[in-house]
Every structure is written in structure tokens, then in C-alpha cells.
């Protein structure tokens, strides 16, 4: 089933590229994503009823393992459902940003990107993961550059070189991990079996810590942890809006889930707590806290709406890394839940920003006074997203903040509650002014004159409305998802036994 999803997306990508007509390419892309949603849901139900699925293929040193457990199903569902909504929204938005003759190629890149992201999460063999990571960085750089303007080529080059630096660091880490453990196969469960065998960590601790440090720094580049985030605002801020939504909501998350799998699946909670890996995770936690604060402070200074949302992503990545750095099961759960929360909210926000830019040709936050009267539905959707980011109850952002707070209290590092609440306040400082100015501010001249009354038709806004419904839905009933994730974490921790 896992292979079917990857093959479906890659074949769909080639099919979208193959057709000359851009309308057909859009229809193929939406159809493929619809099938992907069905396959992911079927796969999830089969894993829930039948336990995890392991597929092995290839022979010799090219032997690959695909392991589909709860976490992989969770990510596959996020990729497919949010990807489907983004592709649906892009149907009406993309011609604004991308030349007509490049649209089939754009869908080739987008579907290929989603396929390789699924591969990053599904593969257990490190070789497969490495190749998928490289392919996904090409596709991700591609969907930034496709807009074909100076800033895009510049941002794309920056993104490409830094993400290749990241994957080279990850490769180096994998090699040291392989050499130090010499496992039966080059996959996470075999490495876990060696690391978890008694007395191994006492003997080879320094090798393992080095390997994990290299992997951590590589993932920090790929997933834009604070000091390594410099490519993110350029890439996410200048890309076409559906690309920004994909990059922010889905691409960053795949690498984080791989990191969680290799750290918590490979070493396990008990070993992490009693070895040098604890120090590494403490560093990750502190850097995550710095990212939370610094990302928000940088976002406050922005005047471009998409750059502001992009810097907000830097802050949210900080939350996720802080959750990982806690090193407890509940911290990991909070990080995973935040992946869902951020994916739903941030994709909606980027698509709203894209709608605003498309209708008013204005990216400047200061000139958005009175926008709520011109585009009430669009600005209402922005308000839902912004309030969720701040952490207002009944929205999904509140649940993930609550989870982080519970995780912090559970692990006994109470001082982290202070940065957590400061960062929530900082979130309010840059999302609320936009909302207040839009609904209660004086109408800016730039808005009213050339572009008066510019709400997009509701049928084009429908995917964004569905994302906002998702924000409220997961805010009200997060229980089933939480149980699912707890099972997934238990499954991950038992890897290699």
C-alpha cells in the first residue's frame, strides 16, 4: 500500500507533465491527489486493524525496507489531505503566478515533491531515505524557481545549496552511524537492535553522539531550525502561494518525522535519557526555544505579508524542536500534534495571503486597512488561522500549546513555560494588528480605487474554508488523533526489540 501511494504520485506527476494542455494537467493533479487521499485512508484503516506492515524488496546492499506504522499513516494522511486541498486551491490561483506553458511542469514538480515526501517518511532503509531527501530538495527548489523572477531564482539557489549542505551532513551522520553500529541491514530497526543491545552505548557512546549531532545539524538546515533558517523567508516568501503552502505545511515536516524516527526509533527513550544523547537533545531544546522567540521577533518586523507568515513558520519549527528536545514521550507527542496543527493552519494562511495578493496586487501589511470590508470571507479565514496560531481555545493551536505545556510540566523543566507564554504573546503581536487593521482600520486609498470589492468566488475559496473547518474541528475533538499518535509513539519506541 505504501509503495502504491509513492508510485501513484510519481506516475501522476509524469502524466501531468506529459499533457500539453494546462487545464488537463490541473484535472490530472486533482484526480491523483483525490486517489491519494483514498489510498492513505485505506492504508490507515488496514494498519489500525492489522498492525504495522513491512515490505522488503531488492537484494544485496540495495535491499530496501518500507515500514508502515501509525506515524507513517498519520503523515501520509496529512500529506494527502492537505496536499489535495492545496492542489485544489491552486487550480484557480496558479495561473496568477506561473506562466501558462509552465503549468504542466509545475504540477509535475508538485506531485513529484509529494511522492518523494511520502518516500522520505515511508522508507526505513537509510539509502532510500537519503535518495528521497535529495529528490525532494530538487523538486522543492523547483517549485520556488518556477515563478521565474529574479528573487525566485535567487531564493531557489540559496534554498538548493543550503538544503544540499543539509543532506550531505545527514549522509555523513548516517555513515558514521552505520560504521559504529555495523548493523545487519542499513535500516533504522537493525540499527536500533544494535544500539539497544545491552552495553553497546557504554562502549561506543561518543561515535553515536557524533553521528546524531551530524544528523541533527543536517536536519536543522532542511527543516529551518533558527540559525539555519536563512533560506526559508526568501523561498517561502517569493514562491507562488500554493508552493509556499506546500513548503511550509508539508515539506519541513517530512524531514522532522525522519529525524524523530531515527532518534526515538533508533535509540529509544530509555537510552536517550541515560547517555550523551541527552545533552544533544538539550541543545536542540534550547535552540528550539531561541527559534520560538527570535522567529516571532523577526516576524513582527516584516511588512510583507508572506514574509511575515514565513518567519512565523520559523517560530513554529522552534516549538516542534523544543518538543523533540524534551526527550519524553509526551514531548514527542506534542511535537507530532503540532505538526498537524501547523500544517492545517499555515497552509490556510499562505493560501489566504495568496488570495489577498492576487485580488489586490498588494503585499504590504501597512496598506491592508479596511480589507475586511472588501474581502470579508478571506479576512475571516485569516482571522481563524491567526487566532489558532496565537492559541485561542477551541482552535487547534490551543490544543498543541496545551500539549506542549503538559509535556514541559511532565518532564520537570518548568522554566520552559516562560518562553512558551512569551512566544504566544509575540504571536498575538503580529497576527492581531493585521486583523484589527483589516476590520476596524481606515480604508487605505490603494485598496478602494483600482480594486474595489474583490472577494474571490466562494467556489475558489472552498478549499481554504475546508482548512479553516479543519482548524476548528481538530480544536474541538483532538481525542482520536491523540490516541492514534500515542499508539504510534509506543510502536516507534519498541522498534528493534
Chosen residue from 168, 217, 275, 494 binding another protein by CB under 8 A: 168
Q: Do the beta carbons of residue 215 and residue 261 sit within 8 Å?
A: no
Closer CB to another protein, residue 172 or residue 290? 172
What part of residues 44-63 is at the interface with another protein (CB under 8 A)? 60-62
Work out whether 156 is an interface residue with another protein (CB under 8 A). Answer: yes
89-121 burial code (b ≥16 CB/10 A, e <16) = bbbbbbeebbeeebbbbbbbbbbbbbbbbbbbb
What is the closest distance, in whole angstroms, from the C-beta atom of residue 164 to another protein in the complex?
6
Chosen residue from 178, 200, 207, 484 binding another protein by CB under 8 A: 178
The DSSP code for 61 is G
Looking up cell 523567508, which residue turns up?
233
Instruction: Quote the CA–CA distance of 215 and 167 in Å, as a whole number.
Output: 9
Instruction: Quote the CA–CA distance of 253 and 250 in Å, as a whole number.
Output: 5
Closer CB to another protein, residue 192 or residue 332? 192
Chosen residue from 55, 165, 377, 432 binding another protein by CB under 8 A: 165
Chosen residue from 47, 85, 160, 232 binding another protein by CB under 8 A: 160
Work out whether 207 is an interface residue with another protein (CB under 8 A). Answer: no
Stated length of the chain: 497
Q: Do the beta carbons of residue 358 and residue 346 sit within 8 Å?
A: no
> 65 phi and psi, to 5 degrees?
-125, 135
What is the closest distance, in whole angstroms, from the C-beta atom of residue 17 to another protein in the complex?
17
Number of residues that bind another protein (CB under 8 A): 29
Closer CB to another protein, residue 222 or residue 437? 222
CB atoms within 10 A of CB 32: 24
Work out whether 429 is an interface residue with another protein (CB under 8 A). Answer: no
What is the closest distance, in whole angstroms, from the C-beta atom of residue 153 to another protein in the complex?
6
Classify residue 497 as exposed, middle or buried by CB count within 10 Å of its CB (0-12, 13-18, 19+).
Answer: exposed
What is the closest distance, in whole angstroms, from the C-beta atom of residue 379 to another protein in the complex?
27
Closer CB to another protein, residue 108 or residue 398? 108
| Part in contact with another protein (CB under 8 A); list of ranges 115-123, 143-151, 257-265, 478-486 | 143-151
Question: Which grid coordinates are listed for 310?
Answer: 514565513
Residue 76 to residues 150, 254, 256, 277: CA-CA distances in angstroms?
34, 10, 14, 29
Work out whether 30 is an interface residue with another protein (CB under 8 A). Answer: no
Work out whether 172 is an interface residue with another protein (CB under 8 A). Answer: yes
| Part in contact with another protein (CB under 8 A); list of ranges 71-79, 167-175, 405-413, 455-463 | 167-175
Instruction: Quote the CA–CA distance of 284 and 223 in Å, as a whole number.
Output: 13
Work out whether 465 is an interface residue with another protein (CB under 8 A). Answer: no
| CA 260 to centroid of chain Cα atoms | 13
What H or E segment, with its residue span, contains residue 209?
Answer: helix 200-222
Closer CB to another protein, residue 141 or residue 292? 141
What is the closest distance, in whole angstroms, from the C-beta atom of residue 179 to another protein in the complex?
5
Indicate if the alpha-carbon torsion angle 122, 125, 130, 135 is positive or negative.
negative
Instruction: Quote the CA–CA distance of 342 and 336 in Å, as a whole number.
Output: 10
Instruction: Quote the CA–CA distance of 65 and 126 in Å, as a whole number.
Output: 9
Work out whether 171 is an interface residue with another protein (CB under 8 A). Answer: yes
Chosen residue from 3, 55, 164, 286 binding another protein by CB under 8 A: 164
Chosen residue from 15, 66, 113, 141 binding another protein by CB under 8 A: 141
Question: Which grid coordinates are listed for 367?
Answer: 496598506
Q: Per-residue contact track with another protein, 111 to 140, x per CB under 8 A?
A: ----------------x--xx--x---x--
| Part in contact with another protein (CB under 8 A); list of ranges 36-44, 158-166, 264-272, 355-363 | 158-166
Work out whether 405 is an interface residue with another protein (CB under 8 A). Answer: no
Q: Per-residue contact track with another protein, 69 to 108, x per CB under 8 A?
A: ----------------------------------------
- Mapped to the 3 state alphabet, what secondary structure does 282-315 carry? HHHHHHHHHHHHHHHHHHHCCCEHHHHHHHHHHH
**Which residues lie near another protein (CB under 8 A)?**
60-62, 127, 130-131, 134, 138, 141, 145, 149-151, 153-154, 156-158, 160-161, 164-165, 168, 171-172, 175, 178-179, 186
Amino acid at each position: 500500500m505504501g509503495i502504491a501511494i509513492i508510485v501513484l504520485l510519481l506516475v501522476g506527476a509524469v502524466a501531468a507533465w506529459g499533457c500539453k494542455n494546462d487545464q488537463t494537467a490541473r484535472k490530472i493533479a486533482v484526480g491523483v491527489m483525490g486517489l491519494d487521499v483514498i489510498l492513505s485512508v485505506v492504508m490507515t484503516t488496514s494498519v489500525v486493524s492489522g498492525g504495522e506492515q513491512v515490505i522488503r524488496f531488492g537484494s544485496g546492499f540495495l535491499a530496501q525496507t518500507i515500514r508502515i506504522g501509525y506515524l507513517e499513516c498519520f503523515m501520509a494522511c496529512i500529506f494527502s489531505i492537505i496536499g489535495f486541498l492545496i492542489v485544489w486551491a491552486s487550480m484557480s490561483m496558479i495561473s496568477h503566478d506561473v506562466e501558462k506553458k509552465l503549468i504542466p511542469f509545475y504540477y509535475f514538480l508538485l506531485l513529484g515533491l509529494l511522492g518523494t515526501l511520502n518516500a522520505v517518511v515511508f522508507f526505513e532503509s537509510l539509502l532510500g531515505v537519503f535518495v528521497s531527501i535529495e529528490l525532494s530538495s530538487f523538486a522543492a527548489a523547483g517549485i520556488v524557481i518556477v515563478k521565474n523572477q529574479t528573487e525566485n531564482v535567487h531564493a531557489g539557489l540559496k534554498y538548493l545549496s543550503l538544503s544540499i549542505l543539509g543532506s550531505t551532513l545527514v549522509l555523513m551522520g548516517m555513515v558514521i552511524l552505520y560504521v559504529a553500529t555495523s548493523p545487519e541491514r542499513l535500516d533504522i530497526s537493525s540499527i536500533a537492535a544494535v544500539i539497544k543491545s545491552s552495553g553497546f552505548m557504554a562502549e561506543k557512546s561518543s561515535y553515536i553522539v557524533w553521528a546524531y549531532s551530524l544528523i541533527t545539524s543536517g536536519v536543522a538546515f532542511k527543516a529551518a531550525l533558527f540559525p539555519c533558517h536563512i533560506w526559508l523567508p526568501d523561498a517561502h516568501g517569493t514562491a507562488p502561494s500554493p508552493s509556499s503552502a506546500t513548503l511550509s505545511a508539508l515539506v519541513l515536516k517530512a524531514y522532522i518525522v525522519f529525524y524523530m524516527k531515527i532518534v526515538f526509533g533508533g535509540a529509544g527513550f530509555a537510552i536517550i535519557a541515560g547517555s550523551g544523547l541527552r545533552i544533544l537533545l538539550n541543545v536542540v531544546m534550547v535552540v528550539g526555544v531561541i527559534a520560538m522567540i527570535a522567529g516571532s521577533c523577526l516576524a513582527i518586523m516584516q511588512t510583507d505579508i508572506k514574509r511575515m507568515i514565513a518567519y512565523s513558520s520559523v517560530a513554529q519549527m522552534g516549538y516542534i524542536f523544543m518538543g523533540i528536545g524534551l526527550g519524553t514521550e509526551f514531548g514527542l507527542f506534542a511535537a507530532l500534534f503540532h505538526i498537524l496543527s501547523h500544517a492545517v493552519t499555515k497552509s490556510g494562511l499562505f493560501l489566504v495571503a495568496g488570495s489577498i495578493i492576487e485580488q489586490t496586487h498588494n503585499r504590504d501589511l501597512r496598506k491592508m486597512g479596511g480589507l475586511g470590508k472588501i474581502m470579508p470571507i478571506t479576512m475571516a479565514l485569516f482571522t481563524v488561522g491567526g487566532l489558532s496560531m496565537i492559541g485561542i481555545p477551541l482552535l487547534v493551536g490551543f490544543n498543541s500549546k496545551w500539549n506542549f505545556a503538559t509535556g514541559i510540566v511532565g518532564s520537570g523543566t518548568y522554566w520552559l513555560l516562560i518562553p512558551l507564554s512569551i512566544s504566544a504573546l509575540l504571536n498575538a503581536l503580529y497576527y492581531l494588528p493585521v486583523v484589527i487593521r483589516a476590520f476596524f482600520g481606515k480604508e487605505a486609498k490603494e485598496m478602494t480605487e483600482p480594486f474595489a470589492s474583490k472577494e474571490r468566488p466562494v467556489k475558489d475559496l472552498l478549499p481554504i474554508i475546508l482548512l479553516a473547518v479543519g482548524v476548528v474541528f481538530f480544536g474541538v475533538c483532538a481525542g482520536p488523533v491523540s490516541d492514534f499518535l500515542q499508539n504510534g509513539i509506543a510502536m516507534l519506541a519498541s522498534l528493534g526489540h
